[in-house]
């Protein structure tokens, strides 16, 4: 492996060196999030490192990316519904405020978050949640990782 895969997530995925990759999809990579305070949090990474925004893609690839985002969202929804009876819904977001490459966040939401948290954007969670070692991706997340991967295998690609 050459360097830390976190500094080049897409390049590392293309080289087979990104350990968060769940599956290769038509327009990019389905990956499980580095932080799992909402178990099942996943991200769709475009497979072109220089693409910064959805509008940078040709129309066909843009539609493919959105289709893959839908597929990952449904896989997370199915997996989380099966693993946690408190599952409520999935939030899908393309923000582009921090990382300079096109990606889409897939956030499962749960009743156990409480009404204050579940009804608000994930980004309003306290900063400690994002860096707490308890929520760092690890072997304790293998069940949700496997469940999402299995759902992706069963859902057809629309492109």
| Tokens at 141, concatenated | 């997340």
Question: d(Cα 64, Cα 74) in Å, to the nearest integer?
Answer: 15
Cα 85 from Cα 33, distance rounded (Å):
21
The pLDDT-based confidence of 153 (bands split at 50, 70, 90) is: very high
> pLDDT of 113-133, one tens digit each?
988 888 899 999 989 989 999
- Amino acid 159: pLDDT: 61
pLDDT tens sequence across 23-80: 999 999 999 999 999 999 999 999 999 999 999 999 999 999 999 999 999 999 999 9
Q: Order across the sheet with 87-93: list the strands.
A: 21-24, 28-32, 42-46, 103-110, 87-93
Query: pTM of the predicted model, to two decimals?
Result: 0.94
- Predicted pLDDT of residue 118: 83
Residues of 85-99 as b/e, b for ≥16 C-beta within 10 angstroms?
A: eebbebeeeeeeeee
**Average pLDDT for the chain:** 94
Which domains, and CATH codes, for the chain? Answer: 5-154 (3.30.428.10)
Which residue has tokens 């923000």? 95
Give the angle 41-45-46 at the CA atoms, nearest 5°.
Answer: 155
């Amino acid at each position: 492996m050459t360097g830390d895969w976190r500094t080049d997530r897409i390049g590392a995925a293309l080289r087979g060196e990104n350990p968060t990759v769940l599956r290769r999809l038509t327009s990019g990579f389905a990956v499980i999030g580095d932080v799992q305070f909402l178990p099942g949090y996943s991200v769709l990474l475009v497979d072109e490192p220089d693409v910064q925004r959805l509008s940078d893609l040709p129309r066909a690839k843009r539609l493919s990316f959105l289709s893959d985002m839908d597929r990952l969202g449904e896989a997370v929804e199915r997996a989380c519904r099966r693993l946690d009876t408190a599952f409520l819904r999935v939030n899908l977001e393309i923000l582009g405020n921090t990382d300079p490459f096109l990606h889409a966040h897939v956030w499962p939401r749960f009743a156990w978050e409480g009404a204050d948290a579940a009804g608000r954007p994930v980004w309003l969670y306290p900063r400690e949640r994002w860096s707490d070692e308890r929520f760092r991706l690890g072997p304790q997340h293998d069940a949700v990782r496997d469940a999402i991967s299995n759902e992706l295998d069963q859902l057809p690609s629309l492109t």
